[in-house]
Amino acid sequence: MGEIQPEVVVVPQPPQGQVDDAVVYLKGHANGAVDSQVDLRALRRKIDRRLMPYMFCCYILQFLDKVMLNYAAVMGIKKDLGLVGNDFSNVATWFFIAYLIAEVPNVYCLQKVPPAKWLGGNVFLWGLAAAASAGARGYRTLLVARIFLGIFEATVGPSLMLISSQYYTRSEQAPRFTVWYMGLGVAQILGGIISFGFQHVHNASLEGWQVMFLVLGLVTMVVGALTFFFIPDTPMKATWLSDNEKVALLQHVSENQTGVWSTKLNLKQILEALGDIQLWLLTVTTILISVSSGVVTTYSSTLISGFGFSGPISALLNTPSGIVSIFFTLLVGFGIRKTSNRWAWNVLCTIPGIIGGGLLSFLPKNNKAGVLIGIYLVNAIVATLPILYQWTMANCAGHTKRAFASALVAGSFSVGNIIGPQTFQSRDAPEYRPAKIAVLATQASAAVLSVVLFLYYKWQNRRRDQTEGHVNENKIDETRWAGLTDKQNPSFRYVY
């Protein structure tokens, strides 16, 4: 898109009690001096520069702070804290149990508190919890620290999803989700290097993994404070946007028909979401994908060290996983922007995951190169998560329903990560064959469900065209800011 003249768009009156803050702003500026044209490309670049660095850093740190336990495993944390049996798996699992439970209040908090403020505050607190992990003196104290880390990290996915949906149209969201989600791959690379570095830190009173937790925790707290103060609550409160730019932006994103911000909690929309087939298909797909993510997050270094490599070398050998993650995340993010077809890109990313799961499951352990390639290929599936996140934001309309859907999908990510580490049982060491087969099976199932989602959306759109007629601009103008859900809005069409 090129240029837009803000004054030409009519601002309709939404139903009582469902007023979006964007409507209030547009009404207040309907007669203002908006005679200059706004270049949307330049406006997007300006927004990208202001938002993406913070969102990118938040996602890097949420993965680093979470995956540091993976690297600490080869830095001696099990021996230092006396972890035996399934203690390590339980610590990893309880992080995600806390993550899942925290998604319940997140629905309410994200409806009442601007997502940028809620994100910044929680980033600061999870940095504090990460630093506190350095003070663990045994299984129980480490468990408590990880539980608090899970509680505070639970908001990162939903908050970033909501912030992205406030500033970008549905097609523009895909590459932006890609940019901040790419932080995961960068974190995988940095994590191996950081772990390698801290394994060479020798301190009389602190172990290398303790220094690592402290440093990363403090860095996270700084980023949280910056996010809190420098990401605006809504586009309407962005001091670095002129009135013309705000009006142009709001009119531009109004084509989403999902709204920008409202503090009105609508319980009917939550009930609708609970009965929405698409949301449960997205949820189950996310769970299946996340089983492998849980394996990669918690046990990739353990699998590599099982080949007989030392701790520092195991950490470095994990870094190519990040390169695979970044490649596929970029591929699908910009692929969706050009061609849409989210379902096909989702299936595409599961194929390397299936191949990787097969190599892990069926190659003999002495084939180190083949198994290593399998570990790296499994990381392709992390690129499916931003697809699922963006799919959720694009196809769930209504202020409360969107907040609920983002929390539900983020919560289902934690369910998969609860299951993943638990497939690693101490009795299955050192090959962990059941866990590897679980990676293979869940990726294949996720591919099948992606096709089911595609067929469901096509059927829904065809049914709406038959009953409501094809969408016209007059209908869209009436529903842009109405606060309607995707099911209530006859002009809404699902993307796939």
Three-state SS for 414? helix
Distances (CA, A) of 59 to 94, 95, 146: 20, 17, 18
Residue 493 lies in a domain: no
State yes or no: pLDDT of 29 exceeds 50: yes
Phi then psi for residue 14, to 5 deg, are -75, 165
User: Helix count (H) and strand count (E) of the chain?
Assistant: 21, 2
Three-state SS for 340? coil
pLDDT tens digits for 97-117?
Answer: 999 999 889 888 988 899 999
Report the pLDDT averaged over residues 244-257: 86
d(CA 475, CA 479) in angstroms, rounded, equals 7
Report the pLDDT averaged over residues 373-393: 87
Residue 298 lies in a domain: yes
d(CA 477, CA 179) in angstroms, rounded, equals 31
pLDDT tens digits for 290-347?
Answer: 887 766 656 676 677 777 777 677 777 878 888 898 999 999 888 888 888 899 999 9
pLDDT at 19: 66
Tally of CB atoms within 10 A around 431 = 15
Q: What is the DSSP letter of 318?
A: T
Element (H, E) at 38: strand 38-39
Residue 21 lies in a domain: no
Reported as a pLDDT band with limits 50, 70 and 90, residue 4 is very low
Residue 496 lies in a domain: no
Domain that holds residue 102: 40-237+259-479
pLDDT at 6: 41
d(CA 449, CA 285) in angstroms, rounded, equals 6
Q: How many domains does the chain have?
A: 1
Higher per-residue confidence, 35 vs 122: 122
pLDDT at 427: 74
State yes or no: pLDDT of 154 exceeds 70: yes
The CATH number of whichever domain residue 48 belongs to comes to 1.20.1250.20
Q: How many residues does the chain have?
A: 496
Higher per-residue confidence, 216 vs 310: 216
Beta bridge partners, 3, equal 39
d(CA 450, CA 462) in angstroms, rounded, equals 19
Element (H, E) at 353: helix 342-362
pLDDT at 360: 74
Residue 51 lies in a domain: yes
pLDDT tens digits for 262-283?
Answer: 777 888 999 999 999 999 999 9
Report the pLDDT averaged over residues 470-491: 70
Reported as a pLDDT band with limits 50, 70 and 90, residue 470 is low
Residue 202 lies in a domain: yes
Q: How many whole angstroms from its chain centre is CA 223?
A: 18
Model confidence, pTM: 0.80
Residue 247 lies in a domain: no
Residue 112 lies in a domain: yes
Reported as a pLDDT band with limits 50, 70 and 90, residue 185 is confident
Report the pLDDT averaged over residues 438-448: 86
- Which is nearest to 465 in space by CA: 493, 496, 428? 493
Report the pLDDT averaged over residues 387-404: 88
pLDDT at 272: 94
> Where does residue 265 rank: exposed (0-12), middle (13-18), buried (19+ CB within 10 A)?
middle
